[in-house]
Amino acid sequence: RNVAAMEIDEKPETTYDDIGGLDPQITEVKETVELPIKNPEIFKEIGIDPPKGILLYGPPGTGKTLLAKAVANETNATFIKIVASEFVNKYLGEGSRIVRDVFELAKEKSPAIIFIDEIDAIGTKRVGSSEGADREVQRTLMQLLAELDGFESRGDVGIVAATNRPDILDEALLRPGRFDRAIAVPNPVKESRQKILEIHTAKMKIDEDIDFDEISEVTEGLSGADLKAVCTEAGMFAIRAERKQVIAKDFLDAIDKIMSDIKIS
Ligand code: ATP
């Protein structure tokens, strides 16, 4: 088995409390992934199959991985992550094998959550060409579809996929019995940004005068990952100034830095 291609975490520590501003998304993930693992009999009684896979879509750094890890934590499941874009570059030729191994491993370690990041790398709409690398990618997608179809949705293995590009996904992936639930994970609005900042400053020594209402106001457009970077950078400014506490100016300088970094990249 190519375990180097997988990130395996037997006991992820992320919880729902570590996620800021995604309450409706958390509710939906609880219903579609957590409940089938925790109480499969509820679905049996009513006589429906629980959803097999869910698709989280939205810009980078908004908390998709956090959501998948938190469900794994809540269900005492092993978290197994693969990054589909690596099948196109790093592990070209091994994709379908790795996909098969991941499903096998998940069954062995169940309960388990399989997280497939950047699924668009293997799941884009067919473009026609069937040469070399493209054919490899096709084979990997076929293997994934076969695994999904052959998989009994008994609930003890949850499958979560993530993408920044839902628009280019092959519809075959979104058919019933595959990734038939799509949950949007957008960039945070102001109140969400404030919650995310609270989470990432919880363990920091910060001046009590800092106005997080204002900071969340001026960080429009930043993702959760960017806001975390702002907090870290603010801490760096305080360290450089040899202060024992992070002050408002450190945050404002950090915001300037992160925002100009984003503009450059
Ligand atoms: P990508 O699409 O780039 O893989 P993602 O949506 O999976 O991104 P995460 O890996 O979940 O993003 O987020 C990266 C980091 O940013 C997290 O580890 C966390 O520190 C921070 N972060 C992102 N979103 C949130 C959020 N909603 N609440 C708290 N922290 C967040």
Enter the ipTM: 0.96
Atom of ligand 1 nearest to the CA of 20: 28
Task: Tell me how far the alpha carbon of residue 231 lies from the centroid of ligand 1, in angstroms.
Answer: 14
Cα within 13 Å of Cα(214), Cβ side: 7
Q: Is the CB of 61 under 6 A from ligand 1?
A: yes
Is residue 57 within 8 Å of 166, Cβ to Cβ?
A: yes
pTM above 0.80, yes or no: yes
Main-chain dihedrals φ then ψ at residue 8, nearest 5 degrees: -115, 125
Q: Is the CB of 68 under 6 A from ligand 1?
A: no
The preferred substitution site among 66, 69, 200 for testing ligand 1, maximizing ligand atoms within 8 Å of CB, is: 66
For residues 122 and 133, give the distance between their C-alpha atoms in angstroms, rounded to a whole number. Answer: 11
Instruction: Return per-residue pLDDT of the chain as tens, 265 residues.
Output: 788 889 999 999 999 999 999 999 999 999 999 999 999 999 999 999 888 899 999 999 999 999 999 999 999 999 999 999 998 888 888 889 999 999 999 999 999 999 999 999 988 876 655 566 678 888 999 999 999 998 876 669 999 999 999 999 988 899 988 998 999 999 999 999 999 999 999 999 999 999 999 999 999 999 999 999 999 999 999 999 999 999 999 999 999 999 998 876 6
Annotated binding residue 65: yes
Q: Is the CB of 59 under 6 A from ligand 1?
A: no
Q: Is the dihedral of CA 161, 165, 168, 171 positive or negative?
A: positive
